Structure 1
Amino acid sequence: MRLDLIDLQLFLHIRDAGSITAGARRSHMTLASASERIRGLEDALGEPLLIRNRRGVVETPAGRTLAHHARLVTQQLEHLKGELSQYGNGVRGHVRLRANAAAVSEHLPEVLADFLVAHPLVSLDVHEHTSAEIAHGVRTGMCDIGVASDAADLQGLAVLPFRADRLVLIVPKDHPLADGPAARFADVLDEPFIGQAEQGAMAALLTHHARLAGKTLAYRVRLDSMDAICRMVGRGAGVAVVPEAAVRRMGRAAGIRRVRLIDAWTRRHVVLCVRDPDQLTLPARQMLDHLRAHAR
């Protein structure tokens, strides 16, 4: 049996992306070429690796086993590249990072930009997920570093502090709650909400707690940009729940008022999590050290 490293990396891209089309794009291949390579891999192994359906693909038990070992192989190769690159003109590599909505929008952009400037030969793959998905991704090797809420189940992972991350309610200046000291999330669920895009981690969090309160959020509009959400609230289109860091940055310009939420789940911290710091590739270790240096 002959396994090609390109095929292994392609399979991981398809598995992580959930479709052959997206996996082929990540691997810089045509769809036809990627499909042919996967068929050849399945023929060589004598087992189907993926189950195709209208939504994309899911791995079979054999595919799950292949993914586990393929990650070990690619991680060892990255370790080798990192160690050898120290004898060349700098460290080359690729770091995979998963982060929650607050981290992606408020805490990471400048920090990651500074890292890329300082390490011009390293590239980053950053994806937004819920904190539970981030923990799963770190445990299963789908990413090198996670930036998640400490409210998630992070058992078995190495966890390091990063940033405080309180969630607050924002309302227009003339809203009845604008001058109030605090509110409960359950008490504002009948308000018209401006929310994050449906696939976003913040949207999933708010939907979960609304359901626990026996209600459904009434979204007037969903947006990808935290800045756009703040500006629409400031114009009176609705209310929103956002990271406090966004209010500090946008509050005056957007014309919004911050209302403290007294729910325990809104008081949390963003943490860094990895499986084992000593097993990270050299670029990933540099990324982790850089993030720790910017913790506060």
Structure 2
Amino acid sequence: MHFDITDLKLCVNVANAGSITGGANLTHITLQSASERIRGLEHKLGVDLFIRSVKGISLSNAGSTFIEHANAILQQLELMQDDLRQYSQGLRGHINLLCNASAQMEFLPLRISAYLRQQPSMSVSVKEMPSSDIVSAIKNKVANLGIIADSCDFSGLESRPFCYDELIVLVHTNSVWTQFEHISFAQIINSEFIGLSEDNPLQKHIDSHARQQGKRLNYRVRMPNLDAVMQVVNDGVGIAIIPKHAAQRFNSPTSKILKLTEYWAQRELVICTRDFTQLPDHTNEFINFLINWESP
């Protein structure tokens, strides 16, 4: 079924204004045209979108659903216009990248900064998601490119190695655990943890393995980022499971890194897509830059 953009805008404006007159004014069309458009749309759909009364109009159940979708479509159109406007201003290409929490926090910032300095006519959007959700988005053609942990199932996608991303246990040097060099998840599962927020994909990954052992981790506090987590551990409050790269960057004399022996802690990050040969040249150039970049 064909939907006219003006009809979508009109219905959203009518719903917001609470009257056809107000909606017509916001859409910059006449009241007669607005009434005819709404009647025509309702006829095509076979349902009433608005309930008319002496007090004005309100949305029917079908109308509420219609407005929800109309808002999403109009917002997407606005994003498309913004992206295309950049091309008219000299942009050569735009890259949308999905990545897991560890890639977003530890491996991408320096690489993307270096890439953008080298490529002033390119732009990049990065969105953090759990690895499994990234795989689903790419398979369902909602996204084209992602960085995920190889611990999730990404069969059916093409991939290239990005970097090693081992998870370790960070403890204070006064902790009872400092006698160990490596440790199992079962040994520490009843400890007091410092974690990231509940909706953080990395924390969800760790919590899911605790649930597989019939446990729920005891969090003394949840912090917004890895730097904050490491600082609290460094103050002697609890322990944390974090990427080794982050702990090495923190490099505090009052904290110690313990090797976590679980298989799921030995992770590699990979760049994945449906078909690398179908990506634009500038996207493959970006991928090669991320993989081959060396820290100064």
Contact in 2 for aligned 1:128/1:200 (Cα 8 Å): no
**How many positions carry a matched residue from both structures?**
239
Structure 1 residues 29-40: aligned runs within 5 Å: none
Residue 98 (structure 1) aligned with residue 78 (structure 2): no
Q: 1:264-283 alignment to 2 at 5 Å?
A: 264-283=263-282
The question of whether the paired residues in 2 share the 8 Å contact of 1:91 and 1:283 is answered with no
Alignment partner, residue 292 of structure 1: 291
1:248-263 alignment runs, 5 A limit: 248-252=248-252, 255-263=254-262
Q: CA deviation at 1:222?
A: 1.3
Task: Label 1:276 to 1:199 Cα distance change in 2 as closer, same or farther (>3 A).
Answer: same
Matched residues, percent identical?
27
Instruction: Kindly report which structure 2 residues correspond to 1:183-194, keeping only aligned pairs within 5 A, or say none.
Output: 183-194=183-194
User: Who is 1:16 aligned against?
Assistant: none
Paired residue type of 1:293: N
Alignment correspondent of 2:130: 130
Please give the root-mean-square deviation of Cα atoms over the aligned residues, in Å: 3.5
Q: Distance in 2 between matches of 1:52 and 1:240?
A: 45
* SS of residue in 1 equivalent to 2:153: coil
Equivalent position of 1:107 in the other structure: 107
Aligned-partner Cα distance in 2 for 1:155–1:57: 34
Q: Secondary structure at the match of 1:194?
A: strand
Look up the match of 2:209. 209
Tell me how far 1:137 sits from its aligned partner: 1.7
Shift of 1:288: 1.6
Provide the C-alpha distance between the structure 2 equivalents of 1:51 and 1:178, rounded to a whole number of angstroms: 62
CA distance in 2, matches of 1:142, 1:51: 26
Render the CA deviation track for 1:79-107: whole Å, top value 9, x for unaligned. xx8xxx8xx99652321111111111111
| Distance in 2 (alpha carbons) for counterparts of 1:57 and 1:188 | 46
Specify whether residues 228 and 51 from structure 1 end up closer, same or farther in structure 2 by C-alpha distance, changes over 3 A only.
Answer: farther
Q: Structure 1 residues 234, 51: closer, same or farther in 2, change over 3 A?
A: farther
Q: What is the one-letter code of the residue matched to 2:170?
A: I
Consecutive unaligned residues of structure 2, counting only runs of 5 or more, are: 9-25, 28-36, 48-61
The Cα of 1:192 is off from its aligned counterpart by 1.1
Deviation at 1:124? 1.8
CA–CA separation in structure 1 for the residues paired with 2:3 and 2:281: 29
Unpaired runs of at least 5, structure 1: 8-31, 34-38
Q: Give, in angstroms, the shift of residue 256 of structure 1.
A: 1.3
C-alpha distance in 1 between matches for 2:234 and 2:46: 57
- Asked whether the equivalents of residues 100 and 130 of structure 1 are also in contact (C-alpha less than 8 Å), the reply is yes
Give the AA of the match of 1:233: V
Letter in 2 for 1:205: H
1:187-220 CA-to-partner distances (Å, cap 9, x unmatched) read: 2121111111111111110110000011001112
Task: Tell me the secondary structure at the aligned position of residue 108 of structure 1.
Answer: helix
TM-score, normalised with respect to structure 2: 0.70
Partner of 1:236: 236
Contact 2:91 / 2:123 at 8 angstroms: preserved in 1? no
8 A Cα contact 1:164 1:268, kept in partner: yes
Shift in CA distance, 235/273, structure 1 to aligned 2, threshold 3 Å: same
Distance 2:270 2:294 in 1: 9
Change (3 A) 1:210 1:116: same
Structure 1 stretches of 4+ moved >6 Å = 50-53, 56-59
Map 1:16-95; keep pairs closer than 5 Å.
43=41, 46=45, 92-95=92-95
Q: CA deviation at 1:46?
A: 4.1
> Whole-Å Cα distance in 2 between the matches of residues 176 and 241 of structure 1?
16
Answer yes or no: is the 8 Å Cα contact 1:148–1:270 preserved in 2.
yes
Can you list the C-alpha shifts for 1:130-189, whole angstroms capped at 9, x where unaligned?
A: 110111122223333111011111111110001011100001110011131211112212
Tell me the secondary structure at the aligned position of residue 96 of structure 2.
strand
| Equivalent residue letter for 1:271 | V
The Cα offsets for residues 103-139 of structure 1, whole Å up to 9 and x where unpaired, read as: 1111111001111212223222211111101111222
8 Å CA contact retained: 2:161, 2:271:
yes
Contact 2:157-2:272 at 8 Å conserved across structures: yes
